[in-house]
Chains A and B, each alone.
Chain A
């Protein structure tokens, strides 16, 4: 089956893309504000909201369930903040309590619902792990509309959210209503999380918030670019996850999207310019070589000073005593015209002496002479 002819796949991919775009973009703020795991608590806390919304209305309309999830996720966030502010328990404990307790309560409600005589409850448990294959056109429209609202709000409050992320004290001092802005930002984060529960599930939704932002952070130091990149990464992972899981048999979509995101994070952490670990390693290796080369040059210089005739050659073995593997450095010195080779002997050149003189140990030897 091809992407271009398979309608179900197109719907799923579109939904996953809209979802990845929203949660990636808004996740950037969460990650920058050190609230990466708030997403985990919110998504778990949403479960009882979904169950209650169904118990109260008897409806499984996506909007009803998503609103229930949003209210519960929001209450969960409030509880976390209350615990952190009013007790000496730290944020990690508060998040842990909220996510596990709300989730447990959600399970209780789900088992209550399962006892109902009619079969109307079928399908609620797809929120646990997500079932992207069940996405319908109306679900995708809902995801896009709510995600669009969340993105629009963050565009409107762009400047304020930026300040909130980087310097909340300054924001307070210039008279911004920080608490209100915090509430708005948290609300759009909640929104971006609950729209993903049906596709990815409560357990894995936190990755949709954290991973795109963590990957995007490696490529840029500018918030605007980071948010755009994170949204792009989220959408890319959403589409690739949907396509891969439809191509292979028995591969659930949610976990596949998460693994695509993980791959993006690994690539970003390894290869992003300036911050990437690979470039960092290359840089360190290069520095180490330069350092070695200069200390071999200094040794050559020191040896030269012991001899009346400075162009006197010294055997590689002599230099290898101090610097195992010095031959490699000597060749590099020769390339730069700082050392000259005669058979197996090495001598420093006038240019090499000048270079050695400028490198720390040089002047001391000049004085000795």
Chain B
């Protein structure tokens, strides 16, 4: 494979690997845990680096993932004291761990190849240079294998514990009473999130892990009500954004990770605007339709209220609606035309309006009379 293809494969695998745990983070309202973990793993990477003196060592991943889990348990520990709220607890823990990491790097690792920029921002363009060579055979970039393994691990975990994840996500109390161990599952899941964040820091940098974990599932959440479909859509949206991001960065010669994150945002924006039922446009259209339907029903109720009475002749005229319902003449005209179109009323003698049977039924239904 040429390096460009390898980069795209890495981008796609990273996006897919991040989207899988992301779905559950979004549904469990723990999206910002990914932010906390992805910052805090810097400390783990630094400590692991001090021990191994090798940025490619698997021990680094283990140490960093352990820091991620440490973050989660620290946040929960602070939560349990009930001295600060959960959001504040997150905001206290990760800057502290991140600061320790930054200071350690600045103080002791200044001369080696480990800087905060690399961890935080990542550099996908360099990934193909770091190759996995076994017995002189070139097996491809290490990152590609790492992300592939993490994707398999995540997919395996979601498949194996699908039922448990689903029930603890949607009804943690029920899961507890049914005898699942939500705590254990939670920690296993958070370990996975940490491991994914660690693997992805190399490719996209830790801040952009957050984009890949949160934006595609949040977009998918607006498109479907079914969990399996949401998982599939998240992966698809993530991969598409990642590839679109790669090509944008290629065209404009800018940061790959940055433009991948930008594309996840653009993707979310498009879904936010155009989602068939929950998008802004659909909401607006529904609101407008409801306005007309409501006016039409009001008209039918008004006509029914006054028909067969002495003042029917005076009340049930299009020209009277302005005085009675405070409708502007052109609005009243459109409502009458709509109601006529749906066969709710007929005009007799120019201006006078008369309900049809269908219109009467609709009015009765609206005010709760069932005959």
Contacts and interface: CB of A to CB of B under 8 A. Distances in A.
A87 B208 CA distance: 23
Contact of A110 (B91, B217, B221, B255): B255
B211 A100 contact: yes
A361 to B, nearest CB: 33
B258 A111 contact: yes
Interface residues of B, number: 61
A206 B90 CA distance: 11
Contact of A111 (B29, B120, B255): B255
Contacts of A96: 31-32, 34-35, 210, 213-215, 218
B214 A97 contact: yes
A100 B84 contact: no
Interface in B87-123: 87-88, 90-92, 95-96, 98-100, 102-103, 106-107, 110, 116-117, 120-121
The prevalent SS among residues of A at the interface is helix
**Which of under 10, 10 to 19, 20 to 34, or 35 or more describes the interface residues of A?**
35 or more
B99 A204 contact: yes
Interface string A198-238: 00000110110111011001100000000000000000000
Contacts of A94: 218
B211 A207 contact: no
B299 interface: no
A92 B210 contact: no
A277 B81 contact: yes
B173 to A, nearest CB: 19
B92 A214 contact: yes
B20 interface: no
Contacts of A106: 258
A262 interface: yes
A86 interface: yes
Contact of B98 (A36, A125, A255, A265): A255
A103 B211 CA distance: 9
B221 to A, nearest CB: 6
A207 B255 contact: no
A258 interface: yes
B141 to A, nearest CB: 22
Nearest to B259: A108
Interface stretch (A37-45, A188-196, A289-297, A319-327): A37-45
B85 A36 contact: yes
A214 B214 CA distance: 27
Contacts of A73: none
A207 to B, nearest CB: 3
B283 interface: yes
A277 B81 CA distance: 8
B101 to A, nearest CB: 8
A344 to B, nearest CB: 44
Contacts of B254: 107-109, 111-112
Contact of A101 (B83, B91, B121, B261): B261
A11 B218 CA distance: 44
A259 B97 CA distance: 9
B135 to A, nearest CB: 38
B260 interface: yes
B91 A104 contact: no
24 contacts: A36-B88, A37-B91, A87-B222, A88-B222, A89-B26, A93-B218, A93-B221, A95-B31, A96-B31, A96-B214, A97-B218, A97-B265, A99-B35, A99-B207, A100-B215, A101-B265, A104-B262, A107-B257, A128-B117, A129-B102, A129-B116, A207-B92, A217-B84, A269-B83
Given A36-B88, A86-B272, A262-B92, 19 more contacts: A36-B87, A93-B221, A96-B210, A100-B264, A101-B211, A104-B257, A107-B255, A107-B257, A107-B258, A108-B255, A108-B259, A125-B117, A203-B98, A210-B88, A214-B84, A214-B88, A217-B83, A250-B110, A275-B83
